[in-house]
Amino acid sequence: MEDIGSFLLWCVFPYLALGSFVFGTIIRFTFFRDTITAKSSELLEKKLLMIGSILFHVGIIFVFFGHVIGVLIPKAFTDWLGIPNEIYHIGALVMGGIAGFMALAGMLILSHRRFANKRVFKTSSFSDLVVDLAFLVVIVLGLAASLGEGLFLHPEFNYRLNLSVWARQLFYFRPDFHLMLQVPIVFRIHVICGLLIFAFFPYTRLIHALTLPWQYLFRSPEVYRRKPNIRGDHNRG
């Protein structure tokens, strides 16, 4: 029974979550495009929004690409480049820690703003509140996994030998759930929470992150003409 549960969690659930992300996004953009909006509350409060938004977005972008690099680049490649595992690990901890704390600080500011400011709270939907809390949880778990587990509880743990291998296996549909059983519990919870965010991504305001102003690339250029000076033209006549 334990193997069945682990198989469902690490070999079935990831595809359900990613399938929800892909097909939910397609359906949202195809049939409910008019509902995609950032719905800014800037007019209600601007200072905290600006500070928190900049910190969070800059931090989370670096965190996201750090995760992508950590998953897609195998240990054999950095070994071939001559990068010692200790140097790679220190670099990942430093850069990931800075980006993670930036994202956490930004999310704390934005969450405080959303829950403490009565006007902002009243204009927030239930999904807005859940998304804020979900990001707080997943960021804290990520920092706890990288710094707590990686530095103090399990300093010998190398996620590139199991967690990253399992993540790459998802792309060619042969994930080995036994690899995830070697991963410390905090890392596993962090992965589950991250997959849940992907699963619910298309059904929340987060979907606006995938919108790009393509119309500006293809629309005809606008021509601006100077308004004629009627009085001057009349006098010259």
The binding site for heme b consists of 57, 67, 190, 208
DSSP SS3 for 211: coil
* Residue carrying structure tokens 């400011």: 117
Encoded tokens for 123: 């204009």
| Among candidate residues 73, 133, 141, 143, the one with its CA nearest the CA of residue 108 | 133
DSSP SS3 for 148: helix
Cα separation, 194 vs 167, whole angstroms: 13
Using alpha carbons, list the distances in angstroms from residue 108 to 44, 66, 113, 148. Answer: 18, 21, 8, 20
Cα separation, 99 vs 61, whole angstroms: 8
DSSP per position, 193-209? HHHHHHHHGGGSGGGGG
Encoded tokens for 80: 């071939």
Output the known binding site: 57, 67, 190, 208
* Residue carrying structure tokens 């495009």: 33
